[in-house]
Amino acid sequence: MGFLIGLLNGLFGAGGGIVAVAAFQKIGMTNKQSHATAVAVMIFLSAVSGFLYWYHGYVSVSDVLPYLPGGIAGGIFGGWLLPKIPDFWLKKIFSLFILYAAIRLFFK
């Protein structure tokens, strides 16, 4: 399953995390455990693909710096919010993002 998630990520650059959440739910994790664990998996895989992007010269670290203060504040807020948000809303928001990813991929 992990192999498939990595494959999707490398091939399409999107959707790996979505499949990870769905897969973790299938093997018995709760909704929130699936989301939290998917973040961990995606960090690991993003580090590898991010390195490849950087190595090929598509991006430099200084491009990202202006976005980091807001991003880290958002990370703190998201980390605080996940255990508190009702599952109902987590699922609804998640499904909208899946649909958005589908549309984006379709017109790629």
Can residue 26 be called a binding residue for another protein (CB under 8 A)? no
Can residue 92 be called a binding residue for another protein (CB under 8 A)? yes
Can residue 80 be called a binding residue for another protein (CB under 8 A)? yes
Residues 6+ apart with CB under 8 A from 98: 18
* In the complex, least distance from residue 61 CB atom to another protein, rounded to whole angstroms: 7
d(CA 31, CA 21): 8
Q: How many residues bind another protein (CB under 8 A)?
A: 93
* In the complex, least distance from residue 84 CB atom to another protein, rounded to whole angstroms: 9
Residue 82 · residue 35 · CB < 8 Å? yes
> For residues 37-76, which are near another protein according to CB under 8 A?
37-50, 52-54, 58-59, 61, 63-76
* Terminal Cα distance for the chain, rounded: 25
The residue with tokens 């504040």 is 73
